[in-house]
Amino acid sequence: MTGIDATLARLTALHPKRIDLSLDRMWQILARLDHPERKLPPVIHVAGTNGKGSAIAFMRAILEAAGSRVHVYTSPHLVRFNERFRLGAPTGGQFVTDAELDAVLGECEDRNGGSPITVFEITTAAGLLLFSRHPADVLLLEVGLGGRLDATNVIDQPLASVVTPVSLDHADYLGEDLAGIAAEKAGIVKRGAPVVVAPQTDEVMDVIRRAAERVRAPFKAAGETWVASEEHGRIVYQDEDGLLDLPAPRLVGRHQTVNAGTAIAALRAAGFKPPMTAFEAGLLRADWPARMQRLSQGRLAAMIPPGSELWLDGGHNPDGGRAIAVALADLEERVPRPLVMVVGMLQTKDHASFLRHFAGLASHLYAVPIPQQEKSLPPQAIVAAAQSCGIAAEPADSVSEVLKRIGTRGIVPSPRILIAGSLYLAGDVLRQNETPPQ
């Protein structure tokens, strides 16, 4: 066990596992750390249900292409805990080293003095401390859960607040009332700071609009002050500052047009003016693992039948399922192949609503447990939900076992294989494939 693993194991054992949304513990530890949240580079704060990470990936890539130093805080990680903390540098950011992360976690643990605190809260405090000690031009800060009472919501004056598409997820903490969830997300809106809002339902848009009006925050909504659309294989973005005709992003799926547009709108609202070349390079370079990621190399990729495709996505809620299904339908239209799914999900997710988007698209589904997750949904429950949608399905013990089975079935033409349903499963796949995020 590494030093970081030992520290995290100790923190998990000592502090509450149950998420208790509150900022009281954060304010307490930040005061004991001499308020690193007041010493940060300028911040762009990002909330939402889907698309947060992709929008941040686009912003980072564009800014780095323009020569900026960009800190990034995201969660959860896929393979290594270090992935949550990217430290900016003139030549591009790097994940924090094991030694520095272990040291700063230890410092936060000492200053906390054994007071009750969740692991996410203390690691967020560690991240803010790290980012305050390294110079950068901007910090892209992703909300962990909700917004109003999330541990990241300790920034008084961000350059901009961003809300990506809002839908139902984390119902055990945020409930199943969409307006209520939107209000929690809108809790990151701050007085006078521009609010950039991705396409939303009317109900969600109205909630965020009212939150912005209450604190006189300039409201930059998709379809109102900016628009991004796919035209002839390119992205056309337009706002009050003009029109951008840009290449299609590296990230796969129509939903990435929305995320790229949100990123561009956020950068412009925050006052950044990258050159056209940076916008172009950023869209082509942006990388966000386990989001319609094609695995063409690695240990697992070597197991699939010749000519097959292996795709990985961590999507796990109904809207995420819809976005993946649309992306796969687009791939099917260009290059038809039988779609074989490998799905593992947590018990806390709406697996039936996720799976229904693949009815008529998937030819077969294998349900697997998520390794080392006590809340992993039993494969038979996934099989039952898939079969109720008309998808032929069967359980399996592991992803590697499924890939071996597919190799013996002689599917013609060679299949398109999708592994999906959980970021925890995606992380395990990347670990097994020996292709962790860089």
- CATH 3.90.190.20 residue ranges of the chain are 293-433
Retrieve residue 31's tokens.
């005061």
Enumerate residue ranges in the chain where pLDDT < 70: 1-2, 14-20, 169-175
In our burial notation (b when 16+ CB lie closer than 10 A, e otherwise), range 10-20 reads ebeeebeeebe
The predicted pLDDT at position 91 comes to: 85
Residue with tokens 């809620």: 317
Contact call for residues 140 and 46 (beta carbons, < 8 A): yes
The predicted pLDDT at position 20 comes to: 65
- Least Cα distance to 10 among 159, 168, 140, 122 occurs for 122
Q: What is the pLDDT of residues 135-189, one digit of tens each?
A: 999 999 999 988 999 999 999 999 999 999 998 765 555 667 899 999 999 999 9
pTM given for the model: 0.95
The predicted pLDDT at position 21 comes to: 72
H or E stretch at 393: strand 393-395
- For the chain, percent of residues with pLDDT exceeding 70: 96
In the three-class reduction of DSSP (H, G, I as helix; E, B as strand; rest coil), residue 200 is classed as coil
Residues 358-363: contacts with CB within 8 Å, 24+ apart?
358/321, 358/325, 358/328, 358/389, 358/391, 359/389, 359/390, 359/391, 360/390, 361/325, 361/328, 361/329, 361/332, 362/386, 362/391, 362/418, 363/338, 363/339, 363/392, 363/415
Burial class (CB in 10 A: 0-12, 13-18, 19+), 211: buried
- CATH 3.40.1190.10 residue ranges of the chain are 3-285
Kindly state the DSSP code that residue 410 receives in the 8-state scheme.
-
The predicted pLDDT at position 343 comes to: 98
The predicted pLDDT at position 22 comes to: 80
Candidate CATH numbers 1.10.10.10, 3.40.1190.10, 3.30.300.10, 3.40.50.12780; the one for domain 3-285: 3.40.1190.10
CATH 3.40.190.10 is held by the domain 293-433:
no
